[in-house]
Amino acid sequence: MIDASKPDLTRRIAVLGAPIDIGASQRGTLMGPAALRTAGLLTLLDGLGFEVNDYGDLLIDDVADLDDAPPDNAKHYREIQRWTRALSARAYELARSGAIPIFLGGDHTLSMGSVNGIVRHWHEIGRELFVVWLDAHADYNTPATTLSGNMHGMSAAYLCGEPGLDSLLGGEPRSSIEPDQLELFGTRSIDKLERDLLRDRRISVADMRQIDEFGVGVLIRRVIDKVKARNGVLHVSFDIDFLDPSVAPGVGTTVPGGATYREAHLVMEMLHDSGLVHSVDIVELNPFLDQRGRTARAAVELIGSLFGQQITDRPTPTNAIGSSD
């Protein structure tokens, strides 16, 4: 167990893998955590001056099934429920330790557990957690709106307290965010009923049309300014299909027209400079579909930018990641 009485060591990172791939239609993301480690993620973070603690991959073998009635149109509900309960408890523990948790996926159902636990921690100390959802998809379906029944497409909606998966956590506390604390960024594939729900909830969506028109710098600055104005903190949920498939082919749900390599780096650099990021998910890497590790390496390089790696030697702002609350 982690000793929550330890001081907040602002240069400490806690890495946890969650090899789950049943939330998506394409299997293989269970190999994502190993691929990210193999591509040098831990070495890179260590080289940036962080104390990196790798807690390995989460196991759910000893997590018992619950006896609630599974909802319709939620494939593999029971096993995802076990993952979500285990991840929420572990995420809460890691956040309380004062480290910056990085969760290695795995498909995007990971965030139902990881973000829930992180939100619970920040609620307890009176801070709002905002979630930047870097993703080609909105993931704002519910069992009532989904076309596929794949639960990785319900993860953002679940975090905002939408109904339909109300028993997913069992006895684990559910800690939702408000719809205006979710920032969809890079979106370019939204189902019709999902779009209606996003409009009703007034979810902020920076789609690729807006990125083309205004540029990623302007749009991510709006997010940063909003969070700072409310004394909030940020969780970055990085689905690798945020990137254009020409940059990152190793995902199961490629959508053309995504962020370029340089655009993605600028987003990560600006998020780092903001000093607001206190937790991260990296999801949907499917090494089975990758080209000689190309996507894994790109993801690691982008996480490097998120944690302060620079191409030039310009001064790092004093309010960078890990430097302040």
Are the beta carbons of 299 and 248 closer than 8 angstroms? yes
Give the active site residue among 152, 265, 272, 278: 152
pTM exceeds 0.95 for this model: no
21 is catalytic: no
Give the active site residue among 191, 284, 290, 301: 284
pLDDT at residue 106 greater than cutoff 70: yes
pLDDT tens for 229-238 read: 999 999 999 9
Give the active site residue among 107, 139, 194, 207: 139
108 is catalytic: yes
239 is catalytic: yes
pLDDT of residue 8: 36
Q: How many CB atoms lie within 10 A of CB 229?
A: 8
196 is catalytic: no
pLDDT of residue 318: 45
Q: How confident is the prediction for the chain on average, in pLDDT?
A: 93
pLDDT at residue 24 greater than cutoff 50: yes
Give the active site residue among 107, 241, 263, 301: 241
pLDDT of residue 23: 86
Phi-psi region of 275 (alpha: psi -120 to 50; beta: other; left: phi over 0): left
278 is catalytic: no
Give the active site residue among 172, 239, 244, 290: 239
Q: Percent of the chain having pLDDT more than 70?
A: 92
pLDDT tens for 57-103 read: 999 999 999 999 999 999 999 999 999 999 999 999 999 999 999 99
Helix (H) or strand (E) holding 13: strand 12-18
Give the active site residue among 137, 235, 265, 278: 137
Q: How many CB atoms lie within 10 A of CB 210?
A: 16
Contacts of 320 (CB under 8 A, 6+ apart): 272, 273, 275, 308
76 is catalytic: no
Structure tokens at 319: 């309010």
Phi-psi region of 207 (alpha: psi -120 to 50; beta: other; left: phi over 0): beta
Where b means 16+ CB within 10 Å and e means fewer, 82-100 reads: bbbbbbbbbbbbbbbbbbb
Contacts of 313 (CB under 8 A, 6+ apart): none
Alpha-helix runs per DSSP H in 3-76: 32-38, 41-47
